[in-house]
């Protein structure tokens, strides 16, 4: 478990920086342009690569040294994050911000399948559910801490560029952690030629549970999750909250706190309950929370419903990810999880563009 702890803490530090940037960058672009459609395009630049690069990234994850590949992708993301921060020192054209954000997105897309395929190899099989829940908790804990740091330091005069530079520096945490761990070897899948790229699809097709979960996640991401990327526009147009002010950051942090607790609950309070029931209950709870969030017209009900919306969001997706991971062998995990990331992150930007327009 030592290796998992190292990677978890390194990832937590990096994710805090990522969510600082995720709060600041869309708000900055919306403040510059006043157009939710432009913010939607920005989210597409960041997450769109997951749709197009996840399958080749999954093939790489199942054939090459995952540790070396992950370190190289951290360097790629660090480099483009430095470029983004340097651009923000002035008043750059919006297209330049998009290019830098796209570069970070490419690094993330090529990193994601290998990262998720590596984590189960760092823990015992009986600890997998708890490890996935803890990983989700770290991701969502950063959604709380990142916006809070932005809210506090914005009051002290921190600039947008400084937040971006801080995010770039946090990739060093992951690089250090990965350099210190031992990632167990696995037998690379012997599949040759173009079939390497279709094995994940074949496995998902032949395993009904995996297939249903990926299709459900794709629908969920496309139709129900665009509100995350459009938070700046929703805050201003619906709740009359200035996206550049502290209240917006606290709203984001409240939503992130709900997501953090939702992911943590899967591996603790609800660990003894059948995952199928948890997934069904999670979707039902999300529907109710989204309905209440949509009805909110002022900050107070937005904060309350936003908390439960975040809770239901990651309660559901963590349950689904746990079930999928438990049904995959190490040698094919990267390619099947590539489909997961295509469904999860790859379709969200399309929803953002449609609803942002």
Per-residue pLDDT tens for 210-245?
Answer: 889 999 988 888 888 777 767 777 787 778 887 777
* Contact call for residues 138 and 19 (beta carbons, < 8 A): no
Instruction: Report percent pLDDT > 70 for the chain.
Output: 93
Q: Which residue has the higher pLDDT, 146 or 130?
A: 146
- For 7, the token pair is 């990677």
Q: What is the pLDDT of residue 193?
A: 52
Nearest residue to 82 (alpha-carbon basis) of 176, 179, 163: 163
Q: What is the pLDDT of residue 85?
A: 95
What CATH number matches the domain at 2-182+197-356, 1.10.510.10, 1.10.10.60, 3.40.50.300, 1.20.1250.20?
Answer: 1.20.1250.20
* Contact call for residues 137 and 319 (beta carbons, < 8 A): no
Lowest mean pLDDT among 60-64, 89-93, 288-292: 60-64
The SS3 assignment for 192 reads: coil
The 3-state secondary structure of 208-232, one letter per residue: HHHHHHHHHHHHHHHHHCHHHHCHH
Residue 163 has pLDDT above 90, yes or no: yes
pLDDT digits (tens, 9 = 90+) for 245-289: 778 878 878 888 888 888 778 777 777 788 888 999 999 999 999
Residue 118: pLDDT band with limits 50, 70, 90: confident
Kindly report the length of the chain.
357
Q: What is the pLDDT of residue 57?
A: 86
- What angle do helix axes 299-326 and 128-155 make, rounded to 10 degrees? 150
Q: What is the pLDDT of residue 240?
A: 80
17 phi/psi in degrees, rounded to 5:
-65, -40
Q: Which residue has the higher pLDDT, 28 or 330?
A: 28
Domain boundaries, given as residue ranges, for the chain: 2-182+197-356
pLDDT digits (tens, 9 = 90+) for 177-198: 999 988 776 666 666 555 666 7
Q: Which residue has the higher pLDDT, 255 or 133?
A: 255
Lowest mean pLDDT among 97-106, 209-218, 313-322, 336-345: 336-345
Residue 93: pLDDT band with limits 50, 70, 90: very high
* Contact call for residues 221 and 347 (beta carbons, < 8 A): yes
Q: What is the pLDDT of residue 287?
A: 93
- Across 197-211, average pLDDT: 82
Nearest residue to 12 (alpha-carbon basis) of 168, 165, 171: 171
* Contact call for residues 62 and 117 (beta carbons, < 8 A): yes
Residue 97: pLDDT band with limits 50, 70, 90: very high
Q: What is the pLDDT of residue 141?
A: 76
pLDDT digits (tens, 9 = 90+) for 286-303: 999 999 988 888 888 889
Q: What is the pLDDT of residue 311?
A: 92
DSSP-assigned letter for residue 193: T
Q: What is the mean pLDDT of the chain?
A: 84
């Amino acid at each position: 478990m030592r290796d998992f702890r190292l990677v978890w803490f390194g990832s937590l530090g990096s994710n805090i920086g990522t969510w600082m940037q995720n709060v600041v960058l869309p708000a900055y672009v919306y403040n510059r342009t006043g157009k939710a459609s432009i913010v939607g395009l920005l989210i597409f630049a960041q997450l769109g690569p997951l749709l197009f690069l996840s399958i080749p990234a999954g093939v790489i994850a199942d054939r090459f040294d995952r540790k070396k590949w992950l370190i190289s992708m951290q360097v790629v993301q660090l480099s483009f994050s430095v470029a983004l921060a340097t651009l923000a020192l002035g008043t750059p054209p919006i297209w330049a911000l998009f290019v830098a954000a796209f570069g970070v997105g490419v690094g993330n897309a090529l990193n994601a399948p290998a990262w998720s395929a590596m984590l189960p190899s760092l823990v015992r099989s009986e600890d997998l559910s708890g490890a996935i829940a803890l990983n989700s908790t770290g991701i969502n804990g950063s959604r709380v801490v990142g916006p809070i740091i932005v809210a506090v330091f914005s009051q002290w005069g921190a600039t947008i560029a400084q937040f971006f530079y801080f995010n770039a520096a946090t990739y060093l945490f992951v690089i250090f952690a990965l350099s210190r761990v031992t990632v167990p070897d696995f037998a690379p899948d012997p599949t040759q030629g173009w079939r390497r790229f279709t094995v994940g699809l074949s496995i998902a097709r032949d395993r009904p549970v995996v297939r249903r979960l990926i299709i459900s996640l794709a629908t969920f991401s496309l139709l129900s999750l665009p509100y995350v990327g459009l938070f700046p526009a929703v805050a201003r147009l619906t709740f009359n909250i200035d996206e550049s002010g502290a209240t917006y950051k606290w709203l984001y942090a409240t939503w992130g706190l709900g997501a953090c607790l939702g992911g943590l609950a899967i591996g603790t309070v609800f660990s003894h309950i059948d995952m199928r029931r948890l997934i069904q209950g999670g979707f039902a709870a999300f529907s109710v929370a989204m309905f209440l969030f949509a009805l909110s017209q002022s900050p107070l009900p937005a904060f309350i419903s936003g908390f439960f919306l975040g809770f239901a969001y990651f309660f559901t997706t963590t349950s689904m990810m746990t079930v999928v991971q438990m049904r995959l062998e190490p040698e094919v995990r990267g390619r099947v999880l590539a489909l997961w990331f295509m469904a999860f992150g790859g379709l969200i930007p399309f929803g953002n563009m449609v609803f942002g327009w």
